[in-house]
Structure 1
């Protein structure tokens, strides 16, 4: 087993969540295929360089795409994050530079690519819990303002949750969205605000957890640089990296 492979603990968590196939030709070993997908995710290597121990690269790639289309990665993400700590949630984004091969997709669809200071980039938007573990994910083009996707990512807030965010989210619309869920925004007000809402600096310092999450996320080289042409495939990679961080955190406390 290499350092990129699933541990026995991680496999025991994931295995019951995978699709069942009671009939037909037996599926190629799921654990081996997942290890191959995680090798690409962690190493950043192209699919064609997948080591032979993981089997045919086409099997790993096709399984990755087929399960993405079938919503398997979405369901795994929901299952793994179901036990999140909802007392405090934090929202923020980080930009990722797109590799040249990621910019060659067919035109017409929204591939979440846009020009910003770093050239062609994609912005990853994340909500993390009180432990700094991700619970909601989203993608936009690199030049998109953070607040434009906040409605989608904050639509599952529970009552009494405190939401930490920076000044980019200081908009009446976002504050009302949070309060309508029974939650409390703790967002520093912009300097041009006439009315200054309550803001706790001490609690705001906890936002370092989301910055630490972004640092861990970019240890996955397939995330630190975007190689995927399709936004859906890149988001699936972000989901897999997020699940891995959840599993590693749970394994360390098991």
Structure 2
């Protein structure tokens, strides 16, 4: 197939230090297997439909599942994003990801939450992200589709990178959130809700840069296995998002 995806040698050198050590028999070439994982995520394929150029589909799936459980892909994303340059301003937003019937079939079973919720649009998950000034994700969180943005941002606020300004839409207009940002030395650039008695001014020119986080969501949704969630487990779906974000924005 002419449209196969391959990680470059330079990209592999950047992420190899975060791979688990191989024990026992040597494992299949990391570059070959990881390229196959990205190809499946990009094209929304079943694992069994991975091209033979990447090796046995069972090997590709097992590597993805095992490393997802170990947190390898999320760890790579966190390390590379954390070492990136601090570019102003920060931006925060969220987007819905529709759950495929294969992901929602075991909604009520299992010990771990699947992060799939029911909204007017059906079963879906909600992905929250904080980006830098170039629209590169630095913090990501997965929640149920019906969970409010305020509950999720409360989980993320302690991990916010240092910055002077944070851009957000009026859905983040809350007094406690503005105060929490101010306590961290961050100036909120958030339009006021229409029902506020006293409107809080914001920098309208600076606010126009918020389109970059929307572009980031769009680029990730170009990968069909992220646009429509097919993974039942939250950790595997989040690993797919973390791997895609790493390849697109940090390699």
Name the residue aligned to 2:247.
244
Deviation at 1:158, TM superposition (A): 4.2
Instruction: Report how far residue 104 of structure 1 moved.
Output: 1.5
CA distance in 1, matches of 2:163, 2:102: 45
Verify the 8 A CA contact 2:71 2:239 in the aligned structure 1. Answer: no
In structure 1, runs of 5+ residues without a counterpart are 249-254
How far apart in 1 are the matches of 2:137 and 2:21? 27
SS at match of 2:217: helix
Cα distance per residue 1:203-245 (max 9 Å; x no partner): 1100000111111011111101111111111111110111011
Unaligned segments of structure 2, at least 5 residues: none
1:24-43 to structure 2, matched below 5 A, reads 24-43=24-43
| Superposed CA offset, 1:106-139 (max 9, x none) | 5254211122232111111111110001111111
Contact 1:90 1:129 in 2 (8 A): yes
Count of residues in Structure 1 that have an aligned counterpart in Structure 2: 247
> Match for 2:121 among 107, 118, 123?
118
2:69 corresponds to: 69
How does the TM-score come out when normalised to structure 1?
A: 0.90
Report the aligned-residue RMSD: 1.8
2:10 matched to which residue of 1?
9
Report if the CA contact (8 A) 2:115-2:234 is conserved: yes
Give the deviation of 1:84 after TM superposition: 3.9
Superposition map of 1:75-90 within 5 A: 75-81=75-81, 82-90=83-91
Would the aligned equivalents of 1:48 and 1:57 in 2 still touch at CA under 8 Å? yes
Q: Which residue of 1 aligns with 2:215?
A: 212
Q: Distance in 1 between matches of 2:175 and 2:197?
A: 12
